[in-house]
Amino acid sequence: MMKIMDLDTPCVVIDRHIVDANLRRAQAYADRHGIRLRPHVKTHKLALFARRQIELGAVGITCQKLGEAEAMAEAGISDIFIPYNLLGAQKLERLAGLHRRLSVSVSADSAITVTGYADAFDDPGHPLPVLVECDTGACRCGVQTPAEADVLARLIDSMPGLRFAGLMTYPPRGRMGEVDQWLLAARERIEKSGIAVEIVSNGGTPDLYAAASVTAATEHRPGTYIYSDRMQVEFGVGTISDCASTVLATVVSMPTATRAVLDAGSKALAADRCAAPGHGYIVGYPQAVVTSLSEEHAVVDLSGCTGRPRIGDKVRIVPNHVCVVTNLFDLVHLADGEDVIAQLPVRARGQLR
Amino acid sequence: MMKIMDLDTPCVVIDRHIVDANLRRAQAYADRHGIRLRPHVKTHKLALFARRQIELGAVGITCQKLGEAEAMAEAGISDIFIPYNLLGAQKLERLAGLHRRLSVSVSADSAITVTGYADAFDDPGHPLPVLVECDTGACRCGVQTPAEADVLARLIDSMPGLRFAGLMTYPPRGRMGEVDQWLLAARERIEKSGIAVEIVSNGGTPDLYAAASVTAATEHRPGTYIYSDRMQVEFGVGTISDCASTVLATVVSMPTATRAVLDAGSKALAADRCAAPGHGYIVGYPQAVVTSLSEEHAVVDLSGCTGRPRIGDKVRIVPNHVCVVTNLFDLVHLADGEDVIAQLPVRARGQLR
């Protein structure tokens, strides 16, 4: 059996026990609070883990792009929500392909998006479920007011080939009370219009364990919770020991007594920042700071460390933002303790369309 | 013929005429100053462009990782420099595979790296060329003083299966005078030890057009110059109109009058920052600011713009750092004016080992 430290670097190593603990903890929370879990696969992009999430009780999965959904559909996943405005003939044709084969739902935040769906889907016997995206404070996509949500819900409801399926939001962090008020108000308005609001879908890992405080929500779409990362730890979600995915790197240079250089740069760790200093947490060297990344080098300041690695040593790095790291590697290694038990091709990697 | 604006988004579009102009300008400069050009393929990762660089006069190419070199060797490139400390049995075996087939050279900045090479390469009839990496101020890898460079050169020279081939540096930006002094001093010391210094290899696009001021250098390894990007423009290298590689994206949402959301996030544009505000330059909307990236969304502040796009419109984005964008896409589109003339698989993408 190959050991982690025998792997060539840089590579991604995923601890199966941490993954399983993270998945079970979230599912138990959701079950306890009567929330349906619909995990976002953007973080792992692996059919194996999507299936495991469903096995543990998830009602289906979330994909951010059609390409992810197609990869997951091919791997046998049968219930997929794409919380995205899908526009243009190419995407709508692919969406129709998925809709013929499995349960797929989408979102919209404008009449233009809804009209596009309505032009492509016109079978009242098999309507496309569409949720209205609500901007509850994150200032990304979404209608701006409950009144606008109601207008869009009625538009969807009026289209024979579409079915209004509910509301969705990507919420602002730490403001679940506001999110709840927004969604409750929107739901009330739409119900007053005589339209049922079946699903209210909330998301995000930072407030996953406050999901129950959004009383309007029927489901939650956490993504990062499966692996966690340094950013989530900074947000107060678990600790570094809950981080399942690490980048294994080699010390390739020690130009000075306090500077080490690793063979993992921005093409392996990505340049995303978080509140903690530097570009990742080096396991075993908590005081080390990854001060800069080139494309294929990480420069590490060891001046605060007691122990120091030597040239040729391998170290594991917890990335700042794990979801973008997943998208950089064509395959990842699954480990049980120090044993590498599988190589998994990241099928949905790079599925940006 | 497909038009750029017919492509589905997000995708990368490369203007062939800008590429060719950028390549010709650099080669002409190098020729004028008697500098041998050895372009770094990390920026494009395409055999087509590596061949074009050689056709125009480059003496060979530079690859940052073995995997890139293997992909380029497979595509017929026969002279490759890997300016990296290659460590460990797996990598040295792969390096030996390349060394048997083509002209490959590497770098080292420590006795440990040199000893590793010497253990793997022991044929005096076909020695491995090794350059000593010098830290001339960039504070990444490299020996710290000309005296250390001399020690390492003598160690390499003493190994029967290795050949000391010269010096290399990745220089600090805007300090070519210091770089030259450093390299001249190191060359002098090594020559005094009775060892010839055949190659002195400098690099980088920011100071490509000041390369001749490093009088010690015999060759230059620019990478980004082929495409350029917003970071290079901020550094004073050309203008936005010299940027050949753009990400085509669709406006998927206009939640407010001044906020647009594009379908290209950090998984398409990468989170690298530069001196200019935001996460990229939107062609046609010079006042627009990409204020934040999620993984699959770019949020754009249009408040400074006179014209505004509509939902469904496509826009081209000049990325902050193009080399990491290249590494995110499995294929890119080559364009001549508005016509898409080829789809090119990015063979060396993700070759991190």
Tell me the CATH class for A231-320.
Answer: mainly beta
Pick A324's closest partner by Cβ from B135, B273, B295.
Answer: B295
3-state percent breakdown (helix, strand, coil) of chain B, nearest 5: 35, 25, 40
Cα–Cα distance for residue pair B322/B227, rounded to 1 Å:
7
Chain B: closest CA distance from residue A120 (Å): 15
- The secondary element (H helix, E strand) that includes residue B73 is helix B66-74
Cβ count within 10 A of residue B87: 24
Would you say A131 and A165 are in contact if contact means Cβ atoms under 8 Å apart? yes
Amino acid present at B117: Y
pLDDT tens, position by position, A107-163: 999 999 999 999 999 999 999 999 999 999 999 999 999 999 999 999 999 999 999
Q: Decide if A266 touches B, using CB distance below 8 A.
A: yes
Tokens standing for residue A149: 């949500």
Would you say A326 and A45 are in contact if contact means Cβ atoms under 8 Å apart? yes
Helices and strands of chain A, counted as H and E runs: 9, 17
- pLDDT of chain B along its 353 residues, tens only? 899 999 999 999 999 999 999 999 999 999 999 999 999 999 999 999 999 999 999 999 999 999 999 999 999 999 999 999 999 999 999 999 999 999 999 999 999 999 999 999 999 999 999 999 999 999 999 999 999 999 999 999 999 999 999 999 999 999 999 999 999 999 999 999 999 999 999 999 999 999 999 999 999 999 999 999 999 999 999 999 999 999 999 999 999 999 999 999 999 999 999 999 999 999 999 999 999 999 999 999 999 999 999 999 999 999 999 999 999 999 999 999 999 999 999 999 999 99
- Tell me if residue B296 falls in helix, strand or coil: coil
Tokens standing for residue A274: 């978080």
pLDDT at B1: 86
Q: With an 8 Å Cβ cutoff, are A295 and B64 in contact?
A: yes
Would you say A83 and A221 are in contact if contact means Cβ atoms under 8 Å apart? yes
| Chain position carrying tokens 């190589």 | A343
Q: With an 8 Å Cβ cutoff, are A352 and B10 in contact?
A: yes
Cβ count within 10 A of residue A102: 15
> Does the pLDDT of residue A1 top 90, yes or no?
no
Chosen for mutation from B66, B117, B173, B252 (greatest number of chain A CBs closer than 10 Å) is B252
Tokens standing for residue A247: 């980048």
Cβ count within 10 A of residue A137: 16
- The secondary element (H helix, E strand) that includes residue B219 is strand B219-221
> Does the pLDDT of residue A100 top 90, yes or no?
yes
Same fold, A16-229 and A231-320: no
Q: Which of A231, A321, A246 is closest to A282 using CA atoms?
A: A246
Task: Tell me the sheet residues that pair with A201.
Answer: A168, A219
Nearest CA in chain A to B84: A252
Cα–Cα distance for residue pair A205/A228, rounded to 1 Å:
9
Q: With an 8 Å Cβ cutoff, are B252 and A113 in contact?
A: yes
**CATH number at B33-227:** 3.20.20.10
Q: Which of B102, B106, B160, B98 is closest to B129 using CA atoms?
A: B106
Contacts of B141 in chain A (CB under 8 A): 252-253, 255, 261, 297
Would you say A215 and A180 are in contact if contact means Cβ atoms under 8 Å apart? yes
Amino acid present at B78: S
Average pLDDT in chain A: 98
Chosen for mutation from A41, A253, A349 (greatest number of chain B CBs closer than 10 Å) is A253
Q: Does domain B4-11+231-345 have CATH number 2.50.20.10?
A: no
Q: Which of B317, B314, B287 is closest to B301 using CA atoms?
A: B287
Pick B299's closest partner by Cβ from A91, A109, A140.
Answer: A140
Tokens standing for residue B261: 């959301």
pLDDT tens, position by position, A284-311: 999 999 999 999 999 999 999 999 999 9
> Does the pLDDT of residue A175 top 90, yes or no?
yes
The CA-atom distances, in angstroms, between A282 and each of A206, A245, A314, B267 are 22, 12, 10, 24
Phi, psi of A128 (to 5 degrees): -85, 125
Q: With an 8 Å Cβ cutoff, are A109 and B350 in contact?
A: no
Would you say A249 and A263 are in contact if contact means Cβ atoms under 8 Å apart? yes
Task: Tell me the sheet residues that pair with B133.
Answer: B168
pLDDT at B312: 98
- Tell me if residue B260 falls in helix, strand or coil: strand
Measure the CA dihedral B231/B236/B237/B241, to 10°: 80
Q: In chain A, what is the straight-line distance between the N-terminal and C-terminal CA atoms, in Å?
A: 38
Confidence of residue A351 (pLDDT cuts 50, 70, 90): very high
Tell me the CATH class for A16-229.
Answer: alpha beta
Contacts with B191 (C-beta within 8 Å, 6 or more apart), sequence order = B197
DSSP B339: E
Sorted by where each begins, the domain ranges of chain B are 4-11+231-345, 33-227
Cα–Cα distance for residue pair A193/A151, rounded to 1 Å:
9
Q: Give the β-pairing of A331-336 and A339-345.
A: antiparallel
Length of chain B, in residues: 353
Tokens standing for residue A290: 């990854």
Tokens standing for residue A266: 């921005």
Would you say A137 and A175 are in contact if contact means Cβ atoms under 8 Å apart? yes
Phi, psi of B327 (to 5 degrees): -80, 0
Q: With an 8 Å Cβ cutoff, are A141 and B296 in contact?
A: no
DSSP B332: E
Cis peptide bond prior to A83, omega within 30° of 0: no
pLDDT at A302: 98
Q: With an 8 Å Cβ cutoff, are B267 and A312 in contact?
A: no
Q: With an 8 Å Cβ cutoff, are B329 and A311 in contact?
A: no
Would you say B82 and B65 are in contact if contact means Cβ atoms under 8 Å apart? yes
Q: With an 8 Å Cβ cutoff, are B324 and A266 in contact?
A: yes
Q: Using CB atoms and an 8 Å cut-off, which of residues 130-169 of chain B contact chain A?
A: 133, 135, 139-144
ipTM above 0.85, yes or no: yes
Q: Decide if A331 touches B, using CB distance below 8 A.
A: no
Cα–Cα distance for residue pair A134/A151, rounded to 1 Å:
12
Tokens standing for residue A184: 């409750």
pLDDT at A195: 98
